[in-house]
């Protein structure tokens, strides 16, 4: 399942509701890293609203490996694909565009392959293609690569929601 939306659209809250409603043991795969004070505060705010019984795994780069370690028949919430893309893009900033894109698409494929033994996988990602064109080459590269990763994730997901002002709009199936 994929939950897309803009910034502050309610993606994470809705994804947590979906995972909790599964009735399964939940593993939360977090891709954010506290690179500065503001991001550290955001991460802490997200931690406070997660159920204490959920297992949290930090996976800045290898989310597929983290998902593969979750208990069979459980639920996994990956929050979020957009930060995973950013992490990988910034780590390999000097790599050729197609090399980075191939690596990211392989990771997206591995995420969904690893989820086949789960009861539920919920992936959260930002929809960046509806905003302004970023003013820098790196910003445009990020938008393009994330757009391609989102397309791949949507293709592998049986259900896709687009969050609009806190309202989930089911767009697939």
- What is the domain count for the chain? 1
How far apart CA 79 and CA 15 sit, in angstroms, is 9
Identify the band that residue 43 occupies on the pLDDT scale cut at 50, 70 and 90: confident
How far apart CA 47 and CA 77 sit, in angstroms, is 13
pLDDT tens-place string over residues 78-89: 999 999 999 988
- Known active-site residue 46: yes
How far apart CA 17 and CA 166 sit, in angstroms, is 13
Q: What does the mean pLDDT of the chain come to?
A: 93
Secondary structure element (H or E) that encloses residue 58, with its range: strand 55-58
Can you give the CATH number for the domain in which 14 is found?
3.40.50.300
Whole-prediction pTM value? 0.93
Which residues form the domain of 64?
Answer: 2-172
Average pLDDT in the 161-165 region? 97
Q: How far is CA 4 from the centre of its chain?
A: 9
Task: Please tell me which residue in 6, 24, 43, 46 is annotated as part of the active site.
Answer: 46
Average pLDDT in the 100-111 region? 91
């Amino acid at each position: 399942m994929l939950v897309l939306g803009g910034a502050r659209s309610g993606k994470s809250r809705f994804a947590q509701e979906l995972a909790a409603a599964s009735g399964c043991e939940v593993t939360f795969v977090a891709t954010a890293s506290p690179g500065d004070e503001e991001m550290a505060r955001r991460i802490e705010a997200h931690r406070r609203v997660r159920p204490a019984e959920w297992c949290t795994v930090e996976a800045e780069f290898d989310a597929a490996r983290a998902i593969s370690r979750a208990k069979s028949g459980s639920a996994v919430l990956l929050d979020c694909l957009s930060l995973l893309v950013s992490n990988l893009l910034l780590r390999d900033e000097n790599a050729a565009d197609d090399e980075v894109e191939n690596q990211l698409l392989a990771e997206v494929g591995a995420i969904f392959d690893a989820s086949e033994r789960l009861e539920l996988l919920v992936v959260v990602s930002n929809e960046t293609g509806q905003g302004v064109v970023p003013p820098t080459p790196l910003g445009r590269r990020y938008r393009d690569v994330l757009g391609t990763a989102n397309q791949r994730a949507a293709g592998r997901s049986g259900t896709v929601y687009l969050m609009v002002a806190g309202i989930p709009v089911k767009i697939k199936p």
